[in-house]
Chain A
């Protein structure tokens, strides 16, 4: 279980998170939605310790995330970055198998490569892609390689930052199914950020909406359509008019 308690984070005068409270039960899929620039990615990075919150607590399985063994903590996580964040000096399969080629999960290169190719297949990429370099791939392919890397070591907790952005509708469907599968079959805990309402409905057990640095609404995905919350309603229907100012 992941719990954020009253997390604050500012960059200079830009107060991004202003008392974020969020709970993701073990083995469930939580989707965070919210306007561009509201701090969704920052929230994920706070949990991973890539960004240090100004105040508040972050608990993973009732343990303070900032304390204890960092390596053991991070070994439980997989993360897909919004921009892919592939290492451009390494080939695609070496990117995917990065964790399997060094450190505590190290195994023979052959085996790591085989796992990498299998993960690539699961995100809809052919084995031929394995020996290319990230710069030789299209944006959507890079995203999927990032996804394959995030799931390569079968982590317990996986963060997906906009997994379907830049993908065609069919590929989006494949990825949505994959995320669902990882949660249902492997019992992983997933925290996904997306702007794609189809994805939300396909992936989520629970939905949380971030606005003005706090969670405006959270609940099971089934209740999303009749929440009565004007912010959420405006967001999921994509209306320009409403409590969220579209033109600032």
Chain B
């Protein structure tokens, strides 16, 4: 009998623990949002977080976008050649970058770069009692550590995505005009005429959501880290995993909301 029930019990436990985790993350988010909108505001922390999360991520997000855009142009050209549709390169690069690859690539790079560093930093603070010290110094860790990072993610990641979109299209443009023989003026005209406001809006909305997910996961796993170096390692790993999976899932949902007609 137990042999039969064991898998069911396992499944039940897994589902329960997943539900529990979702509830805890949701509560964490609500708490962070409350601290975001109630004073005191730690301006210095907010600016530092914007610098770290936004400005310093620019090189890696920019490079990713340029190379992705370039590769995309090559693929569409060779794929399109099979049914003599090489001419659609500008349009497909634009739509592919802006709607999907721009935000997803930027989101994943942010998960790798920012989520991991936030989780490791906060987890180390937790392990070395710095979080406890904050509390005894009458400073709320949610307000001092989480709120500024979340805010910075919500504001700067959409900007990064916008820049990434442009650089991705530029990568496609460069490859197309330099090696695939496209006319420069026509390429730009095709791109601009083809894109619709909704494409750009969906891209920026995705950036905002992904920025929120990436920073929130870093803070959540950091704050709930276990003890010792192992605890920090586990918190970092879990935060990146969770952020990456949630970003991809959220991407699917947002795409569904915007473009399933």
A: residues with CB less than 8 A from B are: 45, 48-50, 71, 74-75, 77-79, 81-83, 85-88, 98-99, 102-104, 149
Contact = CB atoms under 8 A, between A and B. Distances in A.
B40 A74 contact: no
A149 B40 CA distance: 22
Contact of A74 (B42, B130, B135): B135
Contact of A103 (B129, B135, B136, B139): B139
B5 interface: no
Contacts of A45: 132
A50 B130 contact: no
A85 B132 contact: yes
A77 B136 CA distance: 7
B-side interface size class = 10 to 19
Nearest to B129: A85
A81 B133 contact: yes
A74 B128 contact: no
Interface in B134-179: 134-139
Contact of A85 (B40, B42, B130, B139): B130
Nearest to A77: B136
Contacts of B136: 48, 50, 74, 77-79
Nearest to B125: A87
A103 B133 contact: no
A45 B136 CA distance: 10
Contacts of A149: 137
A82 B132 CA distance: 12
Contact of B137 (A82, A83, A88, A99): A99
A104 B39 CA distance: 12
B138 A74 contact: yes
A102 B144 CA distance: 11
A87 B130 contact: yes
B132 A99 contact: no
A188 B4 CA distance: 65
Q: What 10 pairs between A and B have smallest CB-CB spacing?
A: A85-B133, A85-B129, A79-B136, A50-B132, A81-B129, A74-B138, A98-B137, A85-B130, A99-B137, A71-B138
Nearest to B134: A87
Most-contacted residue by chain A among B128, B129, B134, B136 (CB, 10 A): B136
Contacts of B130: 85-88
B135 A85 contact: no
Contact of B132 (A77, A78, A81): A81
